[in-house]
Amino acid sequence: MQDTQPGSGRRRRHTLALISGAVLLAAVAGVLLLGFTPLLDGDLESRPAPATDYAQAKAKAADLTSADGPEVNPVCGTQVLDHGQRTARSVVLLHGYTNCPAQFSVMAQAYYDAGYNVMLARIPEHGMADRMTRALSNLEPEDLTRFADSTVDVAAGLGDRVSVVGLSAGGTLAAWLAAERDDIAEVALVAPLMVPKVLPETTVGPVSRLGGLLPDFYLWWDGTLKEQLATPPYAYPRYSIHSLGSLLAVGRRAQGRVDRTVPLERLLVVTNENDAAVKNAAVARLADHLGDHATARADHVFPEDLGYKHDIVDPQGENAADLEAICTTLGPLLGIPDLAETLGASGARSAR
């Protein structure tokens, strides 16, 4: 029977609209609740298992290098540069986002020449031979913290005094380690990725929390060159929002509770006024936070008029033409004053 009640159709449409609006409002409220509160924050506490001697450190290092299968670019694998015995000092070098250990090749050699045992580690899902890989979509915050712990576990057996140097995403991991582990004496944060320049700071929490729930998508580092971006030749030309969220989650944890019980011996923070990748104001807040737990702190800012770009250590990166000048400044700050000479020797070897 046809409904002839006046206005009944209008009432039904009005009721449906109210129900739809309520459902939409509840969905929006749910997203806001998940994105702006710590309900989705994972357990990112350190779980250290440091090597107690050189032999154990080498065994742990072998576990890390075994993860470098044939899909990894040969120049991007995890490496240990050691002197055949435990030394007074060891250092962990943590490369940048979408890059690989080749980024630190010159610095690793300089540390080795200065007597350090060196842990040059590949961040999970980085360094694949296929630069267009979608491996970054697999990267979770817990993968990053577990990896960071494992590198220091190795370094603890390689040297009596452990330093950690991190650039960009590596700086994020170094900051987390500085907040978590008492067996690290010195940390150098070089342009750590705490807040990307492209994101408003208010979105960092939601991106870090919701990135793992939403479908992943990729953005080009250079929207014009896209996959043709060739500098450096071993880095990915694009990045994923999911992996960026994972990194930001670790960075947020580094800015929270500090669990180390003894002060850092030294905190070094290096920023670049011309950096188009990270927000220096966020780095400054992180530095102040960690600096409260350090006996000594040093800061260096590369002036904007020098024109240096974000990656200031890669011998094949965007600052290759200025790298000698950069190394002349960075070397003494890092305790490896011969860094520029090592760069020159590396160039001479490559020219042969």
Instruction: Split the chain (352 residues) into runs of 10 and give each run's mean pLDDT.
Output: 58 62 47 47 84 97 94 96 98 98 97 98 97 96 96 98 98 97 98 90 74 84 94 96 92 90 97 96 96 97 97 95 96 96 75 40
The pLDDT value recorded for residue 261 is: 94
Q: Which residue has the tokens 């450190």?
A: 57
Question: How far does CA 291 lie from the centroid of its chain?
Answer: 19
pLDDT (0 to 100) of residue 16: 62
With respect to residue 107, please indicate whether it lies within any of the assigned structural domains: yes
Q: Which two tokens stand for residue 245?
A: 């969220």
Q: How many CB atoms lie within 10 A of CB 331?
A: 20
Residue 34 within a domain: no
Give me the CATH number covering residue 97: 3.40.50.1820
| CB 252 within 8 Å of CB 204 | yes
The SS3 of residue 161 is strand
Contact of 112 with 92, CB cutoff 8 Å: no
* Number of domains the chain is built from: 1
| Confidence (pLDDT) at 188 | 98
Residues 6+ apart with CB under 8 A from 105: 120, 315, 346
First to last CA, the chain: 93
Give the sign of the dihedral formed by CA 325, CA 330, CA 335, CA 336. Answer: negative
Which residues on adjacent β-strands are paired with residue 81?
118
The per-residue pLDDT for 3 is: 52
Distance between CA atoms of 114 and 319, rounded to whole angstroms? 24
Task: Please tell me whether residue 38 adopts helix, strand or coil conformation.
Answer: helix
Residue 282 lies in a domain: yes
Task: Give the pLDDT score at 21.
Answer: 52
In a domain, 28, yes or no: no
Model pLDDT, residue 173:
98
- pLDDT, residue 33, reads 44
Domain containing 121 equals 42-351
Q: How far apart are CA 277 and CA 101, in angstroms?
A: 19
Q: Which two tokens stand for residue 120?
A: 């040059």
Residue 18: predicted pLDDT: 58
Could you tell me if residue 10 is inside a domain? Answer: no
Question: Is the residue at 52 inside a domain?
Answer: yes
248 belongs to a structural domain: yes
Strands in the chain per DSSP E:
79-81, 87-94, 117-121, 159-167, 186-190, 218-220, 238-240, 266-272, 297-302
Q: Look at strands 297-302 and 266-272 and give their pairing.
A: parallel
* Residue 191, CB-side half-sphere exposure with 13 Å CA sphere: 24
Which candidate, 253, 99, 277, places its Cα nearest to that of 196?
A: 277
